[in-house]
């Protein structure tokens, strides 16, 4: 087990947004895609659990060698890195682990909250560069950001995002560095299918 997400809550220390400080020894681990063995993913960051999810647990952001990002839930991560085997008992879920061929396996996928966390991470990196260049964390409107997304099996996309403004549009406060309002700052200009093998 990477961490018990309920019993060991004090270990889930947040760096920014929902990004965890501790890598629990899994950041950097490589995972071969079970559907296409030529595709290899690497764990880049860990994020806090989202309480309303069926599985719960921490979430791993992964990136492949072509720059596509996806997320993996804790249960499937623990199986994928060989920490546990399908059929072993999962203490934090109070059920058995399943493998990639099981109907309850989620695998590599993204939902809107994962997309928000990925965008927040990228925005934070942009802010760091902005501070280095200008001394200010404020991002001027007009930034464009491209990202490659693996939403689910056989669903790969390339997306273009545009920064509307670095502010809370209700209060006018700037810069706005909250994860909860990131979708107000950025707007999706385009999302188009992209076949991974041709990317």
* E strands in the chain: 14-16, 19-20, 30-32, 40-47, 59-64, 68-73, 89-90, 95-96, 144-152, 155-163, 186-193
**pLDDT digit string (tens) for 113-133?**
999 999 999 999 999 999 999
Stretches in the chain below the pLDDT threshold 50: none
Q: What is the value of pTM for the model shown?
A: 0.93
Query: What is the pLDDT at residue 169?
Result: 82
Beta bridge partners of 73: 59
Residue 63: strand, helix, or coil: strand
Query: What is the pLDDT at residue 134?
Result: 93
- The structure tokens listed for 107 are 């695998």
**In Å, what is the CA distance from 136 to each residue of 72, 122, 144, 151?**
34, 17, 19, 34
Backbone torsion region of residue 185, taken as left when φ is above 0, otherwise alpha when ψ lies between -120 and 50, otherwise beta: alpha
Query: What is the pLDDT at residue 31?
Result: 97
- The structure tokens listed for 17 are 């947004």
Query: What is the pLDDT at residue 159?
Result: 97
Q: What angle do CA 56, 78, 88 make, to 5 degrees?
A: 95
């Amino acid at each position: 087990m990477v961490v018990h997400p309920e019993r060991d809550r004090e270990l889930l220390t947040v760096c920014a947004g929902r990004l965890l400080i501790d890598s629990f020894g899994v950041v950097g681990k490589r995972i071969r895609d079970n559907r296409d063995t030529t595709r290899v993913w690497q764990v880049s960051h860990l994020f806090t659990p989202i309480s309303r999810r069926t599985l719960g647990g921490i979430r791993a952001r992964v990136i492949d060698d072509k720059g596509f990002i996806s997320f993996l839930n804790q249960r499937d991560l623990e199986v994928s890195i060989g920490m546990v085997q399908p059929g072993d008992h999962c203490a934090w879920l109070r059920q058995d682990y399943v493998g990639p061929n099981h109907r309850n396996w989620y695998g590599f996928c993204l939902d809107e909250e994962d997309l928000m966390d990925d965008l927040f991470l990228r925005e934070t990196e942009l802010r760091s560069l902005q501070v280095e260049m200008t001394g200010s964390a404020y991002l001027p409107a007009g930034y464009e950001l491209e990202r490659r997304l693996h939403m689910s099996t056989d669903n790969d996309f390339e997306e273009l995002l545009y920064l509307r403004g670095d502010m809370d549009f209700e209060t006018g406060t700037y810069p706005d560095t909250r994860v909860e309002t990131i979708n107000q700052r950025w707007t999706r200009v385009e999302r188009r299918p992209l076949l991974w093998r041709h990317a």
